Structure 1
Amino acid sequence: MNPSTAQARVVVDELVRLGVTDAVLCPGSRNAPLAYALHAADAAGRLRLHVRVDERTGGFLALGLSLGSGRPVPVVTTSGTAVANLHPAVLEAGYSGIPLLALTADRPSDLVGTGASQTIDQHGIFGAAVRRSATLAVAGPDPRDPARWRSAVDRVVAAATGAAGGEPGPVHLNVPFAEPLVPEAGTECPAGRPDGSPWTVVAPFARSVSSLPLDPALPTLVVAGGGSAPDPALLGGTPLVAEPSSPLWAHGLRTGPWLLGTAGLPAPRQVIVIGRPTLHRAVSRLLADPAVAVYAVADPDGLPFADVAGTVRAVGALPRLTPPAGFAERWREADAAAAEVLEARLVPGRDEVPRGLVLARALVDALPGGTRLVLGSSNPVRDVALAAVPRAGLSVLSNRGVAGIDGTVSTAVGVALTHPGPTVALLGDLTLLHDTTGLLIGPDEPRPALTIVVLNDSGGGIFTLLEQGAPEHADSFERVFGTPHRADLAAVAAGLGAAHTLLTDLADLPETLAVEGKGLRIVEVRADRAALRAGHAALAAEIGAAVRALPVHT
């Protein structure tokens, strides 16, 4: 028997028994046993294989597949720096609680430190970013080995899904393979349980938490970010500022981010944090206010609660809230007044309004029900938060774990490959260019139905809105923060096999999105960063004036 081939077949077989339906493979020599085992499982219809030539892209593709399906997804690499290229995706999965499995081939331990090619110390390479890290022994003739291999796979997958009692997230299974690395006649997969079940069944861990010790009747504001959320009925009409990636977004105030800190609104006595809000500095200032009592809703999977300012008084389950009618009504009135300003300004053709906001407003409105919307970091996710009308019927996803632009195209591809309906991604130009290899899909690979809408303002528009974008820093801004480029997105798309459309009139966006067909499409919308800072400031000032002009109730 060829031990390496047998070991790889056992690992893949056990993954399938645990419910794995998709796997990502990056080619190499040392991971050849796993490559053959995955190819055979794909041919037998036991799982769906996705092959990518770039490990960083492969890691984020696996992350997107897991994000879209809710299942653990392995990404398989060869040894050496191939493993290190998974680190950005592992970090994102770690801070997002996504069950990503880094399944890495390795050289036998006696080759580490000898100068052997593509050999590094891989055990523990991801440090604290993974929930569990394990390295198998090199396969040998011991008949007890297959049971140990299956048990090790069960342990890491249980850790990835949170079934073992910890937080869900990424895990690392390192598998050293000795030569020969290719199948030989007569090599069979050592049998597992005859009923097809996993070798070790781990019962899901049940969590329970006490109710938050707060007064449900106080003037309260709820802020919600990405992550799980309780039943919206518990809010009882409490004003809610929800980010687009929160499951509560459709229940939130239309203009919540604009209203925070606006004069003329009653201040909350307490704030309840749900999930992990990361987008708005006004939220951060509110949570740091010593005059406000801050509470956090416990995550059902045990993920850490958000408390950047260190002000959270208690963590627990959300009780049913009953805020004062006058408090909630005043916030709703302000929301309606601010929404009137946005509706009047966020229309195609108004050059003084940031085009990203107009695009976000039009895009979310034009999407059919059942769409998955993937939002890039930096301005796209903020533009949707500031401009779009929150609505039900959409699944909004975003890499907000560490909020990088790494691998966003690949994440969107993975999300699309797990969804039978339409998937649309809204990205910035730098985010697209940072992951162009995400568009590189071989002719034999499953292809997604994915439309990528790209706001191309030739650089880093997000920095225009930060301190770096102030006029006094203009001399250095463009080169080191604006980072303009001369990339031709149409040529990039053509070179990587994606269709391209240049959309000049945003009024034509619904018709452009309605084009059907399977495959990758890039819809490019060009914008100018020059007036971005002033445009945001003008909108904020107009919204503030509209709120202050509201009649005072006595």
Structure 2
Amino acid sequence: MHPSTALATVLVDELVRGGVREAVLAPGSRSAPLAYALEEADRAGRLRLHVRIDERSAGFLALGLSRGGGAPVPVVTTSGTAVANLHPAVLEASHSGIPLVVLSADRPAELRGTGANQTTVQPGIFAGAVRWEADLPAPDAVTPGAGAHWRSTVCRALAAAVSTGGPGRGPVHLNVSFRDPLAPGLPPAGAGASSDAQPDADVQPDADAEPGADGLTGRPGGAPWVTVPPPAAPGAAPVDPGLRTLVLLGDVPDPATGQRALAWAQEAGWPVLAEPFGHLPGGPGVVPHGPLVAGAVARGELAQLVPDRVVVVGRLTLFRELGALLRLPGVRVEQVSGHERWTDPSHVVSRVHGVGALVAAPQRHTGAAAWVDTWTAAGAALSGAVGAAAGPEPTGVGVARAVADVLTAQDVLVLGSSTVPRDLALSLDGTAAPARVVANRGLAGIDGTVSTAVGVALAVQGLEPPAGAPRVLALMGDLTFLHDAGGLLIGPDEPRPDLTVVVVNDDGGGIFSTLEYGDPHRLAEPTAAAAAERVFGTPHGTDLGALCAAHGVPHERVGSLGALQERLAGRTAGLRVLEVPVDRATHRRVRDALR
């Protein structure tokens, strides 16, 4: 076969042998050998292929598939700007620890630096965002020795993505050069092809190779070329016991680790303030409306709740109030981290523990029950005020709570960034079912959220028959939705998710109204108010129904919280969008009332 066809075929075969079951392709000419190989593997049932025309959407779709299924997912692009469009997804994967495999096609070395069309410097294009990278040259001939090199390279990429002996799970980049011809050889002329078809090259196996295991055909029995043991569980000294300890639970890439942390804190007798990632937090010891209580403690209004020590599990990304607790005078701060790159923006952490510290809880103090009860009672006392402040009409907090109330423990919620996760965290009183929550909190951007949600839905629903698969909902704001409207574009022959997207539409950037830019004193002068509306409010006036109709996606505007919960009852097939209009002015009013 042609060298480029052989290279692509071997790469895809070894990816499958290494456990890859989902792959995303953004088509192009230089990546044609990989496209042919992926389509053939899909047709043979070896993996499931997803084709997207927008590389940025393709990158976040692969990210969502990896988040939902847990395994590395390759995303394949052609050369040039196509590769650069993957950068947002690569950055998110890097900061979130998601095993994303970028497989970029490239021009051969002799065309680099010559002004050849669609040719740039692709090796190193993701700088320090990838855990590992390699640049495979375009082969001139097909040899078994080359096949062994290609297979070994794929094994290294997959091992680095899942952190076998590396610096933590994350994205990897395999840049692959291809020379013409890029398409497989045509059949002989007698089979209906043109008489000038190029025949496939004869390939001779290596005489010294293991029988049935030359570099081109791979190891016997479908085994990977290199078997790499999984990473050992990180050892960790236990966290010391102590009464006045508070646990802050942030974003944890592995949802099982988040659940283990909740049980660990409960056993130790320590209250928990939890961000709504991994799973919706609840149960004994979880403080209702935690960010509001944290703000009061940080401001000195609840001196009896000031802890001696704060243990942070995961990464805090949502509330300044939680960060303020870490900076209280005399408070010792410790971090439980899944890898050596712990988070400490305030430079206050005194000790870092591995996740192995969560295996056994410290000895419970005799006064633990009273300490936990004091914290949880402070949160429970706010529940009535939170409900009243949210109001009966749709507000961000009200919509978030309405969505949380319909979720079951088997469901999956994909959260956008910006206002939505904050509204959800403020609304939770600890009674919501522990549904799984997925969010791109690595950089907390609004990039690719629709595509991520589609990927998560496809992954989790692909694990079980549709009737028994988890129900997947997504909750996001209008700007987040519009930023990835291309995620609605799914070809007629592509796998389609069962996914409901709830869009809180306040016609602009509602989060800025809750920050210093929306301070009423700052906006008292008309010119200042107009300027803030233009550069922060960013009204768009987009008809979301028309946008969805253009993509063939069912859409409905929902005017009340009761109607929203009715629409969310039960399982719905296919992709649909529920739009909930919200007055942007309510964000500041509700947030001020809560605080």
Structure 1-normalised TM-score?
Answer: 0.93
2:271 corresponds to which residue?
A: 239
Structure 2: how far apart are the matches of 1:7 and 1:107? 14
Aligned residue number for residue 79 of structure 1: 79
Residue in 2 aligned with 1:421?
Answer: 470
Q: Does the CA contact (< 8 Å) of 2:454 and 2:499 recur in 1?
A: yes
Structure 2 residue 217 is matched with structure 1 residue 217: no
- The one-letter code of the counterpart of 2:146 is D
Secondary structure, in 3 states, of the residue corresponding to 2:79? Answer: coil
2:288 counterpart of 1:260: no
- Offset of residue 194 of structure 1: 1.2
| Residue number among 323, 333, 341 corresponding to 2:377 in the alignment | 333
| Residue 254 (structure 1) shift | 1.8
Q: Which residue of 2 aligns with 1:144?
A: 145
- In the TM superposition, residue 321 of structure 1 has moved relative to its aligned partner by 5.6
Residues 236-275 of structure 1: per-residue CA shift (max 9 Å, x gap)? 3311001110447234222111101322342101000000
Partner of 1:385: 425
CA distance in 1, matches of 2:403, 2:183: 50
Is residue 246–residue 271 contact of structure 2 (8 Å, CA) maintained in 1?
yes
- Answer whether contact 2:417 2:446 (CA < 8 A) is retained: yes
- The residue aligned with 2:329 is 290
Q: Report if aligned partners of 1:355, 1:527 keep a CA contact under 8 Å in 2.
A: yes
- What is the SS of the residue equivalent to 2:15? helix
The residue type equivalent to 2:323 in the other structure is S
2:207 is aligned to none
Paired residues of 1:346 and 1:361 also in contact (CA < 8 A) = no
Q: Check the 8 A contact 1:365/1:389 in 2, yes or no.
A: no
Question: 1:234 Cα deviation (Å)?
Answer: 2.2
1:138-537 to 2 correspondences below 5 Å: 138-141=138-141, 142-184=143-185, 185=187, 186=200, 190-212=216-238, 214=240, 216-227=241-252, 228-229=257-258, 230-235=260-265, 236=267, 237-247=269-279, 249-251=281-283, 252-262=286-296, 263-264=301-302, 265-299=304-338, 302=339, 304-316=341-353, 317-318=357-358, 319-320=361-362, 322=364, 324=367, 325-346=369-390, 348-349=392-393, 355-390=395-430, 391-419=432-460, 420-474=469-523, 475=528, 476-514=531-569, 516-537=571-592
Cα distance in 2 for residues equivalent to 1:239 and 1:473: 38
Which moves more between the two structures, 440-449 or 136-145?
136-145
Superposition RMSD in Å? 1.7
The 2-side partners of 1:208 and 1:66 are apart by 22
- Cross-structure match for 2:124: 124
CA contact (8 A) 2:279 2:435 kept: no
Q: Quote the Cα distance in structure 1 between the aligned partners of 2:363 and 2:107.
A: 57
Cα distance in 2 for partners of 1:377, 1:28 equals 31
Whole-angstrom CA distance in 2 between matches of 1:477 and 1:62: 36
Shift of 1:371: 1.1
Match of 1:531, SS?
A: helix
Letter in 2 for 1:366: V
* Structure 1 residues 335 and 517, CA gap change in structure 2 (3 angstroms): closer
Answer yes or no: is the 8 Å Cα contact 2:20–2:71 preserved in 1: yes
Deviation, structure 1 residue 532: 2.0
Residue equivalent to 1:548: none
Task: Measure the CA separation in 2 of the matches of 1:212 and 1:204.
Answer: 23
Q: 1:209: how far off? A: 2.9
Return closer, same or farther for 1:255/1:18 CA change in 2, 3 Å cut-off.
Answer: same
Under a length normalisation based on structure 2, what TM-score does the superposition of the two structures give? 0.87
Instruction: Give the SS at the match of 2:511.
Output: helix
Q: Find the counterpart in structure 2 of residue 551 from structure 1.
A: none
Pair 495,65 (structure 1): closer, same or farther in 2 beyond 3 Å: same
Equivalent residue letter for 1:461: G
Consecutive unaligned residues in structure 1, runs of 5 or more = 541-554
Question: Identity of counterpart residues, as a percentage?
Answer: 52
CA deviations on 1:467-515 (whole Å, 9 max, x unpaired) are: 1111243212100001011100000110111100100011112221136
User: What is the CA-CA distance between 1:529 and the residue it aligns to?
Assistant: 1.3
Q: 1:23 to 1:213 in 2, by over 3 A?
A: closer
CA–CA separation in structure 2 for the residues paired with 1:254 and 1:53: 44
| Residue deviations 1:179-218 (CA, integer Å, cap 9, x gap) | 000001546892000111100011112143332563x223
CA contact (8 A) 1:457 1:529 kept: yes
- 2:337 corresponds to which letter in structure 1? A
Kindly tell me: are residues 518 and 246 of structure 1, through their superposed partners in 2, closer, same or farther at Cα, counting changes over 3 Å?
A: closer
Aligned partners of 2:64 and 2:451 also within 8 Å: yes
- Residue 339 of structure 1: how far off its partner (Å): 1.9
**C-alpha distance in 2 between matches for 1:135 and 1:452:** 39
Mark the CA change 1:332 to 1:500 in structure 2 (over 3 Å): closer, same or farther. same
1:348 and 1:507 in contact (8 A); partners too: no
Distance 2:29 2:122 in 1: 16
Partners of 2:274 and 2:544 lie apart in 1 by: 33
| 2-structure distance, mates of 1:3, 1:371 | 47
Measure the CA separation in 1 of the matches of 2:418 and 2:127. Answer: 27
More deviation in 364-373 or 192-201?
364-373
Cα contact 2:250–2:274 (8 A) shared by 1: yes
Distance in 2 (alpha carbons) for counterparts of 1:168 and 1:423: 25
| CA deviation after TM superposition for structure 1 residue 516, in Å | 4.2
CA contact (8 A) 1:498 1:520 kept: yes
Q: CA deviation at 1:44?
A: 0.3
- Measured after TM superposition, the shift of residue 389 of structure 1 is 3.8
Q: How far apart are the structure 2 equivalents of 1:376 and 1:80?
A: 29
Partner of 2:115: 115
Amino acid in structure 2 at the alignment position of 1:304: R
Equivalent-residue separation in structure 2 for 1:48 and 1:210 (angstroms): 39
Instruction: Tell me the CA shift for residue 370 of structure 1.
Output: 1.3
CA distance in 2, matches of 1:36, 1:491: 35
Distance 1:175 1:4 in 2: 10
Q: Distance in 1 between matches of 2:417 and 2:490?
A: 23
Cα 1:94–1:328 shift into 2, 3 Å:
same
**One-letter code of the match for 1:537?**
D
Segments of 5+ residues of structure 2 without an aligned counterpart are 188-199, 204-214, 461-468
Aligned length: 533
Matches within 5 A, 1:36-75: 36-75=36-75
Q: Which amino acid aligns with 2:484?
A: D
